[in-house]
């Protein structure tokens, strides 16, 4: 059996197991086991244990449960409600109103967490109950959260960007700077769709509040100060270099606990509920990560990613055709691999092809990150879909359908940075100077 045929068989088994209701993490692990046991000479049991340990024994991953806990604290105290009350008068006249908080929240929090899963889980925990309570459309809320959650890996700092910079031997700072403008562009596209949808369906958006004077808006904005100060502090200590992302997450938890105590909304009951909610969500995410890591090992042993890359290289395509084909290849890989694995397993073959075609490696890094974002919301292994499925009880296919319009916004963003590469390269060239 050819390598690509093995990949097709594993994908079919994965879809069969998922449709049968098997746990996501177990499905990934079972597919990895089948691939190694029947199509390689390696020992699947040994690799299973090492994959589970390596995927979770990570200092950087320690930030994930801490950020999830921060979101649980904000959700279970009145701090999240106060934040929405502070935003309400400013978004009152914009079509979609508070629906834009999903995009704004994911953009701001994504710059702190650097993780798609942490961003999606935290903002969903805070924003979704508030939006549902106020009568906003659940489908649009789920779709925007699934896709805007991916901003965690596009707006720096981002672990995925660091992995690419190391693989491409490129400047990490330039990669970070290159992510800002595409990140803001993507946020604008998401909000633009929400505005367009709200104008088309005014009956599905809660009625606007009575107009407020500027002084009333300023007074209401006082509700933003606690959460706003916490977010600014966490961002500042990270950008200033005083703390790592994991340490920032710890500061965020400590700050949210202090604010909850100060507002007298923290009780032993909601503290314990938040801790248990964090444990459930974090274990779910880490279990899926472990299953994905084992499947990634299977992909590496079978050589499927390299086979695809070699096949593309043998076609001798024009630069634009190369980008088009690579887009398809990475989307296929994204149905079975996480973003970091996609980069690591293909960089040795793909990066020389990109350089030979005359593309800037910094630009290609952002291009790959956007493709990874698409993979996060693409069935059957769309990680953000799984996160929302476990948090809301909705089927992942239902969430995927809700995310389709925002998925298309991601596609539009990729087209725009391909046609206008200056969107990516302008900021690094201005700040650090164009490379000679």
Which DSSP string do the residues of 97-137 spell out, in sequence order? GGGHHHHHHHHHHHHHH--HHHHHHHHHHHHHHHHHHTT--
Q: Classify burial at 313, counting beta carbons within 10 Å of its beta carbon; exposed 0-12, middle 13-18, buried 19 or more.
A: middle
Chain centroid offset of residue 163 CA: 15
pLDDT tens track for 219-273: 777 777 777 788 778 767 766 778 776 787 788 889 888 888 887 888 888 889 8
Helices (H) and strands (E) in the chain — how many of each? Answer: 21, 0
The count of other CB atoms within 10 Å of the CB of residue 434 is 8
Structure token pair of residue 390: 């476990």
182 or 68: which leads in pLDDT? 182
Q: What angle do CA 73, 79, 85 make, to 5 degrees?
A: 145
**Segment 108-122 mean pLDDT:** 69
| C-alpha span between 233 and 103 (Å, rounded) | 20
Q: What share of the chain is helix, strand, coil (3-state, %, to 5)?
A: 80, 0, 20
pLDDT of 423: 93
Residue carrying structure tokens 């490696």: 361
Average pLDDT, the chain: 80
pLDDT of 235: 67
User: Does the N-terminal peptide bond of residue 358 adopt cis geometry, omega within 30 degrees of 0?
Assistant: no
DSSP state letter for 209: P
Q: Which residues does 177 contact at the CB level (< 8 Å), separation at least 6?
A: 156, 427, 428, 431, 432
Nearest to 370 by CA among 422, 321, 424: 424
Lowest mean pLDDT among 76-90, 252-266, 388-402: 76-90
DSSP letters for 291-356 = HHHHHHHHHHHHTHHHHHHHHHHTT---HHHHHHHHHHHHHHHHTTS-HHHHHHHHHHHHHHHHHH
3-state DSSP of 413-431: HHHHHHHCCHHHHHHHHHH
**Segment 36-43 mean pLDDT:** 86
Share of the chain above pLDDT 90, in %: 9
User: Are 351 and 313 within 8 A, CB to CB?
Assistant: no
| C-alpha span between 195 and 97 (Å, rounded) | 9
pLDDT of 1: 67
Structure token pair of residue 19: 């449709």
Question: What SS3 state is found at 87?
Answer: helix
Nearest to 189 by CA among 414, 384, 424: 414
Q: Which residues does 169 contact at the CB level (< 8 Å), separation at least 6?
A: none
In angstroms, the Cα distances linking 310 to 5, 140, 163 are 15, 40, 22
Residue 111 has pLDDT above 70, yes or no: no
Question: What SS3 state is found at 92?
Answer: coil
Domain ranges of the chain: 60-274
Residue carrying structure tokens 């299977």: 298
Residue 431 has pLDDT above 70, yes or no: yes
Structure token pair of residue 184: 């803001």
| C-alpha span between 327 and 333 (Å, rounded) | 10
| C-alpha span between 28 and 13 (Å, rounded) | 10
Residue 276 has pLDDT above 80, yes or no: yes
Long-range contacts of 19-24 (CB under 8 A, 24+ apart): 24/288, 24/291, 24/386
Residue 73 has pLDDT above 70, yes or no: yes
Read off the pLDDT band of 436 (50, 70, 90): very low
pLDDT of 159: 66
pLDDT of 314: 78
pLDDT tens track for 131-179: 888 888 888 989 888 888 888 778 876 667 777 787 777 777 788 888 8
Structure token pair of residue 28: 């990934």
Residue 298 has pLDDT above 50, yes or no: yes
Residue 182 has pLDDT above 90, yes or no: yes
């Amino acid at each position: 059996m050819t390598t690509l045929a093995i990949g097709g068989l594993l994908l079919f088994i994965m879809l069969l197991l998922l449709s049968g209701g098997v746990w996501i993490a177990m499905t990934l692990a079972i597919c990895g086991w089948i691939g190694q046991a029947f199509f390689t000479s390696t020992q699947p049991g040994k690799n299973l244990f090492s994959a589970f340990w390596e995927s979770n024994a990570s200092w950087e991953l320690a930030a994930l449960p801490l950020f999830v806990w921060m979101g649980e604290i904000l959700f279970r105290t009145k701090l999240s409600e106060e934040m929405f009350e502070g935003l309400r008068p400013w978004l009152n006249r914009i079509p979609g109103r508070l629906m834009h908080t999903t995009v704004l929240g994911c953009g701001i929090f994504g710059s702190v967490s650097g993780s798609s899963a942490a961003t999606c889980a935290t903002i969903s925990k805070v924003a979704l109950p508030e939006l549902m309570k106020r009568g906003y459309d659940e489908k649009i809320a789920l779709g925007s959260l699934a896709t805007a959650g991916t901003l965690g890996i596009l707006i720096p700092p981002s672990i995925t960007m660091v992995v690419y910079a190391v693989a491409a031997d490129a400047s990490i700072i330039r990669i970070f700077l290159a992510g800002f403008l595409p990140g803001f562009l993507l946020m604008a596209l998401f909000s633009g769709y929400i505005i367009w949808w709200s104008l088309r369906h005014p009956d599905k958006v809660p009625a606007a509040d009575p107009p407020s004077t500027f002084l009333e808006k300023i007074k209401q904005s006082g509700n933003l100060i606690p959460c706003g100060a916490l977010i600014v502090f966490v961002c500042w200590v990270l950008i200033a270099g005083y703390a790592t992302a994991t340490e920032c997450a710890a500061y965020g938890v400590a700050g949210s606990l202090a604010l909850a105590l100060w507002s007298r909304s923290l009780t032993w009951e909601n503290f314990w509920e938040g801790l248990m909610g964090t444990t459930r969500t974090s274990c779910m995410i880490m279990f899926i990560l472990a299953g994905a890591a084992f499947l990634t090992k299977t992909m590496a042993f079978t050589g499927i990613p390299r086979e695809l890359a070699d096949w593309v290289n043998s076609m001798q395509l024009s630069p634009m055709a190369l980008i088009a084909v690579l887009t398809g290849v990475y989307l296929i890989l994204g149905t079975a691999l996480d973003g970091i694995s996609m980069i690591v397993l293909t960089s040795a073959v793909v990066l020389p092809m990109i350089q030979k075609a005359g593309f800037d490696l910094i630009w290609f890094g952002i291009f790959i990150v956007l493709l990874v974002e698409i993979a996060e919301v693409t069935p059957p292994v769309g990680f953000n879909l799984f996160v929302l499925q476990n948090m809301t009880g909705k089927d992942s296919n239902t969430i995927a359908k809700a995310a389709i319009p925002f998925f298309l916004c991601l596609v539009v963003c990729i087209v725009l940075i391909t046609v206008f590469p200056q969107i990516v390269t302008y900021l690094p060239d201005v700040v650090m100077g164009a490379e000679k």
